[in-house]
Amino acid sequence: MLRLEALTKRYKTGDLALKAVSIEIPAGQVVGLIGPSGAGKSTLIRCINRLVEPSAGCVWLKGLELTGLRRGALRRARRRMGMIFQEYALVERLTVMENVLSGQLGYVGFWRSLLRRFPPAAVSQAFATLDRVGLSAHVDKRADALSGGQRQRVGIARALLQNPDLLLVDEPTASLDPKTSRQIMRLITEVCEERGLAAIINIHDVALARRFMQRIVGLRAGEVVYDGPPEGLSADVLTQIYGEEDWSGTIQAGDEMAAEAGAPAPVPAREAVRFAREPGALAVALK
Ligand SMILES: Nc1ncnc2c1ncn2[C@@H]1O[C@H](COP(=O)(O)OP(=O)(O)OP(=O)(O)O)[C@@H](O)[C@H]1O
């Protein structure tokens, strides 16, 4: 589904951030990308959708070589990759619904998006997606009135509204408390499973990675030094990735999380019903 072939990035400063990284990710697989600061995790994620231009190597998505695409074709291909960011990248003064519908901007025409009028089907899909991420009670709240966890749920819903084949997720829990981090990670992995979506998740927290990922790729200084199941992240492997440290606490935390059960409480859908009764294409909260 996604294939990276000898992907290399040297920044203008001379930093060699990726050294011929080759990995293949089948449809539906959720991969955790771990490694110390500066290992090249963000660079790798951004080279896939060419927010950062690779210096050499190829990226293939479902048989399409992304690295060879010109601007228009690249824009179309990017619709197939939903991106979720650490800092959420929401438009603060816009509502939850408007932010989520912006995931459709690649599909609706320029004037329509400028006027923020979206097709009814997109609006219905946005309601369903917001319900799925537990935000149906907050659709008309402004983004700047949300908690960190709620903001990330908006980011997830926006990415899902693109109907992507792949999610590129850059440190989704770095700004969140431990409990919210677990909820967000659980949500991302659940929606990937429901939709058969592949994902690459840059994840700082090794215990979270051990708990939620199907496969771990460990980067060190721009090179893959581990590629395997989360159970394979022994103290020796973690030392190889991050350097010498006492890993017993991290390993135990991951095992404890694995033993933990339960999902985030559903949010009442009253507000969604009220919005859903609005006729026609919703002129989305032009307040
Ligand atoms: N825009 C840039 N210009 C020059 N060098 C950069 C740029 N972005 C990243 N680098 C360098 O590339 C290397 C990899 O950085 P990158 O941000 O991809 O690592 P990371 O693993 O995501 O780190 P962190 O976990 O701290 O975010 C580092 O040496 C970094 O200094």
pLDDT digits (tens, 9 = 90+) for 32-47: 999 999 999 999 999 9
Assign residue 210 the CATH number of its domain: 3.40.50.300
Is 283 a domain residue?
A: no
Å from CA of 46 to ligand 1 middle: 11
pLDDT given at position 217:
96
Examine the pLDDT at 271 and tell me if it is beyond 90. Answer: no
> How many folded domains does the chain comprise?
1
pLDDT given at position 121:
82
Is 168 a domain residue?
A: yes
pLDDT given at position 85:
81
Question: Mind listing the pLDDT tens digit for each residue in 112-169?
Answer: 555 566 778 888 889 999 999 999 999 889 999 999 999 999 999 999 988 999 999 9
Lowest-confidence segment of 55-64, 131-140, 248-257, 275-284 by average pLDDT: 275-284
Nearest CA, atom 6, ligand 1: 11
Å from CA of 43 to ligand 1 middle: 6
Give the single-character DSSP code of 285. T
Q: Which domain holds residue 131?
A: 2-276
| pTM for the structure as a whole | 0.83
pLDDT given at position 113:
56
Is 286 a domain residue?
A: no
Examine the pLDDT at 110 and tell me if it is beyond 60. Answer: no
pLDDT given at position 280:
30
Å from CA of 222 to ligand 1 middle: 10
Reported confidence tier of residue 270, pLDDT bands at 50, 70, 90: very low
Atom of ligand 1 nearest to the CA of 9: 12
Strands 56-61 and 64-65: antiparallel
- 251: helix, coil or strand? helix
Is 285 a domain residue?
A: no
Is 230 a domain residue?
A: yes
- Percent of the chain surpassing pLDDT 90: 53
User: What would the mean pLDDT of 202-209 be, rounded to a whole number?
Assistant: 90
pLDDT given at position 40:
95
Other beta carbons within 10 Å of 264: 17
Strand ranges (E), 171-282 = 198-202, 215-220, 223-228
Average pLDDT, rounded, for the chain: 83
pLDDT given at position 153:
93
270, two tokens: 């009253």
Q: Is the CB of 9 under 6 A from ligand 1?
A: no
Nearest CA, atom 30, ligand 1: 38
Q: Is the CB of 232 under 6 A from ligand 1?
A: no
- 170: helix, coil or strand? strand
**ipTM topping 0.90:** yes
Is 240 a domain residue?
A: yes
Reported confidence tier of residue 283, pLDDT bands at 50, 70, 90: very low
Is 287 a domain residue?
A: no
Is 262 a domain residue?
A: yes
Nearest CA, atom 1, ligand 1: 11
158, two tokens: 């926006």
With beta carbons less than 8 A apart as the criterion, state whether 34 and 209 touch.
yes
